Amino acid sequence: MTNARPSMRPSLTGWRRGSALLLLAIAIILGGGGVRYALMNAAVQLAALALLAVRPACVRTFWQAAPTGLRILLVGTLALPAIQLVPLPPALWQALPGRDLVAESLALAGRPGLWMPLSLDPGRTLVALVGLTAPTILLLLAMDSGKSERALILPGLAALGLANLVLGAGQLISARQALNWFPGGNPHQLYGSFANHNSSGLFLVIALCAAIAMPTPARPARQVIKLAACLLLAMGVLLTQSRSSIMLLILPAIQWLLALGRHQSFNRARRTAILAAAMTIALAGFAVIAMNNARLSQAFDRFDSLHDARGLIWQDSLIAIGRYWPIGSGMGTFDEVFQIDESIENVNRHRAGRAHNDLLELVLESGLAGAILCLGWIAYIGRLTIPLLRDNEDRVTAPAIILIAILLQSFIDYPLRNQAILCIAAPMIALTASESKRIRMK
């Protein structure tokens, strides 16, 4: 008699069936501000812990039934910042690369014998570790969900994207004098519930992918509504004026063409009529949102000046990586250690703050271990997504394309340092894992 793995589809009743979507909504509404907005991030993390208390069995179920590779990667991701917080004796931590300045400072202060952790800023590293709470719990909840609960995630993302678009429209109309979650920002860019227009644009791209994946209604009127919603989301991406997000629109465009090709029952005349009606509705709504064409012109004008400080930051980041290699400086410490190796000719009135490349920043902060972990995640997700893209089903391809979009923006920005985007990635990994397993069992 063989021991079967436990089912990943628990019997849940009431609101608990939608707990993964509920946590995802809370993360998108409150978690888009970044590390500077600790109270809002804490609210997301407390909500995650509360939902975990309601469904504690998801931890056991995940550990027993989730794919081995996913379990290893999750444990490694959580263990990395935790290990960086363990105090080490002076003889050990002072011998690590890049610790000479700290050792000299402590010697001048008359405290050369202190035990210190691997991280050069334990407080920042602790924040990074705590920041993994919500996405980890969301991954557990999504993996522990039944098919009906997982089916709510993509439509929920699409609805949240439209709500974010409406919120951003109010911000644009008021020149960011109203409906602002976070202060500052460009009054001509759409932010919604995010503090960074790049993250806002990426989220709308994600919502667009989710909207395309929704089943095509049988009634032409509803087909028009779906297409109009997709066009509005695409126009919302333009209003963020995020160059990286605008370029990522190629992904939902490919997804939409693949989806359209599957519906052979639509003749050319019907497709043209539906598309024309949808564009009319979308353009009418867009006229209200945009008010005039100036903001669209600003979005495309930004492509005329592609030279920014990113390339200079990347050069200095590589130098900083060499200083701390192969141990790293500690998760969350980039802003504290980057100035040491920032070239004088690159210094200006703005602090870099981030590497504007999640992969470079991760390697700087976590060294060889982080690089291996990052490559492991990319390889694992790639192994899952390739068969899903070949399967060419809406609900299957959308999570894979969303993960690809997040990865691509990670090369020129820092979406994975945003709790909301990280919380979106978690259920997408769960969806790809479950669908990949289903396809293999065919």
Exposure of 59 by Cβ count < 10 A (0-12 exposed, 13-18 middle, 19+ buried)? middle
Cis peptide before 326 (omega within 30 of 0): yes
246 compared with 185, residue with greater pLDDT: 246
For the stretch 192-224, pLDDT in tens is: 999 899 999 999 999 999 999 887 766 777 778
Residue in the block written with tokens 């899952």: 384
Look up residue 202 and give its two tokens: 């990426």
Chain centroid to CA 218:
33
Assign residue 330 a region (left: φ > 0; alpha: ψ between -120 and 50; beta: otherwise): left
Look up residue 267 and give its two tokens: 């003749």
Mean pLDDT for the chain? 82
Domain segments of the chain as ranges: 164-307
Residue range 38-59: average pLDDT?
Answer: 93
For the stretch 261-301, pLDDT in tens is: 666 555 555 555 555 554 555 455 445 444 444 554 554 44
Residue range 428-433: average pLDDT?
Answer: 90
Cα–Cα nearest to 234, from 252, 222, 258 = 252
Assess whether pLDDT exceeds 60 at residue 91: yes
How far is residue 1's CA from residue 153's CA, in Å, rounded to a whole number?
37
Q: Which residues pair with 88 in a beta bridge?
A: 116
Q: Residue 128 to residues 134, 218, 222: CA-CA distances in angstroms?
A: 12, 47, 44
pLDDT reported for residue 113 = 77
Residue range 17-32: average pLDDT?
Answer: 90
How far is residue 391's CA from residue 142's CA, in Å, rounded to a whole number?
22
Q: What is the DSSP string of 361-398?
A: HHHHHHHHHHHHHHHHHHHHHHHHHHHHHHH--HHHHH
Look up residue 340 and give its two tokens: 């040491």
Q: H-helix or E-strand containing 95?
A: none
For the stretch 313-324, pLDDT in tens is: 888 888 889 999
How many CA atoms within 13 Å lie on the side-chain side of 48?
28
Residue range 157-163: average pLDDT?
Answer: 95
